[in-house]
Amino acid sequence: ITSPVAFDILPLKLHPFSQSTPTGLDCVGWKRRISIPVIADGALDKTALTDDVGSEEDLYEDFRSSNHRYGHPGGGGEQLAINELISDGSVVYAEALWDHVTMDDQELGFKAGDVIEVMDATNKEWWWGRILDSEGWFPASFVRLRVNQDEPMEDYPLKVDGDKEDDSRRFGMGQTTKDQMRTNVINEIISTERDYIKHLKDICEGYIKQCRKRADMFTEEQLKTIFGNIEDIYRCQKKFVKALEKKFNKDHPHLSEVGSCFLEYQTEFQIYSEYCNNHPNACMELSRLTKVNKYVYFFEACRLLQKMIDISLDGFLLTPVQKICKYPLQLAELLKYTNPQHRDFKDVEAALNAMKNVARLINERKRRLENIDKIAQWQSSIEDWEGEDVLVRSSELIYSGELAKISHPQAKSQQRMFFLFDHQLVCCKKDLLRRDILYYKSRINMDDMEILDVEDGKDKDFNISVKNAFKLHCRDTEEVHLFCAKKPEQKQRWLKAFENERRQVQLDQETGFSITEVQKKQAMLNASKQHHAGKPKAITRPYYDFLMRQKHPTLPTTLPQQQVFMLAEPKRKPSNFWQNISRLTPFRK
């Protein structure tokens, strides 16, 4: 469903404080006086919720029991009035606040902005309505009654049925169907942006300001966890809306050229990445706080004072996550109704690709952050770890596999497992008996290295014959590391992996991707807890599953799954050691 004005893509489970979810009725006309001290800037005083009204709970109940139009119609006069109007034969219209998508043929599906004829409102949660020729049940909380019931339906956007004879009557002789559809899309973009700004303002002023007045209830760290960087998003969106309105042609909306606005702000929209990544933490923190009644009443009092519709705070905070996902959909619709000859066509086309890239980047960053927990778990499984944690410098496993490492001065060859992360290559040794246990041996800083392909034959630096070899050469110290793969294709995969590692580092620098110290510490703490809970220090099959799920462009997609696993876990001859031991055992368990 969409948000209280802008929820866009994802389904939202409402968590009302009452048993039934109220409709978004117009709050004009609510003039009940309540004695609440207010700070000059409009924020509540610390004592505002405890002096004249007693407590947050008293304030909450005071608002609930008041007979203002913002309340739920289920237990009061509004619903009764609606049913009386319907019984008298009057036509009652409601406007959809959010999309209602349903697979049930007895439910009525609609989009935000659709006008629904309410035919039965006896149930306070589900109403029966009609749109054109479709009838069905729909949630009352998804609509609001039209303020002016006498307003003709023709004033609302018309559905295009493809009847060319009606086009001139509907859209006027000077405008084509496609231009009218473009007008509708432009109007939707402008109106939803304005509503979204109002929504962000309500969160910042209705919740954040109030919370900061209550230092006894919230720390700054808690507020950062709950609200993330939503204030930065609010400032960014205000500038974006101003840019859109400058490009908006009020007299002829279909001539508006808004594509350039999205191109201009595509980089700034990347701030949504931080918010989206933090959102699960916000939900967990809110879930923890709302187990305490005083926080429930406080949040509800904030919502009522700001005159926001009846959705819990976690529902409001979902809006930015969904908003950034809707831009590609809106631009795709706009491009669909933009003629190639239109001055805005190329910009809209470029903007669509740009916003798809922004959404893709946000998803990629979310995937990277989810992976840091797995990397921390991997490190905790390594025996004899030395030095700094992997997460101090790295956040992505690029590739891994077994190589022979040849060292100076004896040119001794050693079989080792290598794990290539961004910025570093970690070297481990397998346990002689339990081959799934690894011991930390060393690491190489990839920022100082250059990759050298070595031809088969005698290497003059190490004075030995090599095959399927490559070198890592340190530019600063002239130190050289020689590696040999078992097969030519394995060598090529490693060379490609090193290229991908450098490309990943460069991309992270360009996009400003980084992991906060708090996220790193939390990942290592979680891994430590799991380890102490009794998990063995071993690289088990789930780790290899994780390994293979990483984006390895070097792995051929045509290889069977079993063969892919073999790339990560080298073949070894089956051992009869434990079998022979069991034969000598005088008894069986």
Residue 408 confidence (pLDDT) above 70: yes
pLDDT category at 78 given cuts 50, 70, 90 is: low
Average pLDDT over residues 86-102: 80
The lowest-confidence range among 60-69, 263-272, 297-306, 496-505 is 60-69
Q: Is the pLDDT of residue 24 over 50?
A: no
Q: Which of 204-213, 240-249, 374-383, 406-415 has the lowest mean pLDDT?
A: 406-415
Q: What is the mean pLDDT of residues 482-511?
A: 92
- The confidence score (pLDDT) of residue 489 equals 95
Tokens linked to 524: 């290592």
CB 457 within 8 Å of CB 501: no
* Contact status, residue 389 vs residue 379, Cβ threshold 8 Å: yes
Preceding omega of 574 cis (within 30 degrees of 0) = no
Task: Report d(CA 141, CA 312) in Å as an integer.
Answer: 13
Cα–Cα distance for residue pair 354/158, rounded to 1 Å: 31
Residue whose C-alpha is closest to residue 114's, from 128, 131, 127:
131
Tell me which of 78 and 130 has the higher pLDDT: 130
pLDDT of residue 551: 41
Of 427-431, 487-491, 508-512, 566-570, minimum mean pLDDT range: 566-570
| Residue 479 predicted with pLDDT over 50 | yes
Q: Is 215 exposed, middle or buried (0-12, 13-18, 19+ CB in 10 A)?
A: exposed
Residue of 422, 274, 279 whose CA lies nearest to 361: 274
- pLDDT for 397 beyond 90: yes
User: Mapping DSSP to helix (H, G, I), strand (E, B) and coil, where does residue 82 land?
Assistant: helix
Please give the distance of CA 35 from its chain centroid, rounded to a whole number.
41
Continuous segment of H or E residues that includes residue 429: strand 424-430
Buried b / exposed e across 346-377, counting CB within 10 Å, b at 16+? Answer: ebbbbbbebbeebbebbeebeebbebbbbbbb
> 10 Å Cβ neighbour count for 58?
15
Residue 428, phi then psi, degrees to nearest 5: -135, 155
Contacts of 179 (CB under 8 A, 6+ apart): 171, 254, 337
Give the type of residue at 267. Answer: T
Please state, in angstroms and rounded to a whole number, the distance separating the CA atoms of residues 26 and 65: 18
Q: Which amino acid, residue 541?
A: R
Higher pLDDT: 51 or 388? It is 388
Q: What is the dihedral of CA 510, 513, 517, 522, to 10 degrees?
A: -160
Residues 6+ apart with CB under 8 A from 107: 100, 136, 137, 138
* 576 phi/psi in degrees, rounded to 5: -95, 10
Q: Which parts of 290-398 fold into alpha helices (H)?
A: 293-305, 313-316, 319-336, 345-380
pTM: 0.54
**Residue among 381, 332, 326 nearest 196 (CA):** 326
What is the widest separation between alpha-carbon atoms in the chain? 101
Please name which of 78, 113, 110 lies closest in space to residue 95, comparing C-alpha atoms. Answer: 113
Question: pLDDT grade, residue 134 (50/70/90)?
Answer: confident
The predicted structure's pLDDT at residue 144: 78
Q: SS3 letters for 499-536?
A: HHHHHHHHHHHHHCCCCCHHHHHHHHHHHHHHHHCCCC
| DSSP string for 97-138 | SS-B----TTBPPB-TT-EEEEEE--SSSEEEEEETTEEEEE
Domains of the chain: 76-145 (2.30.30.40), 177-371 (1.20.900.10), 387-527 (2.30.29.30)
Distances (CA, A) of 395 to 277, 311, 367, 402: 15, 37, 10, 21
Q: Cβ(511)–Cβ(361) under 8 Å?
A: yes
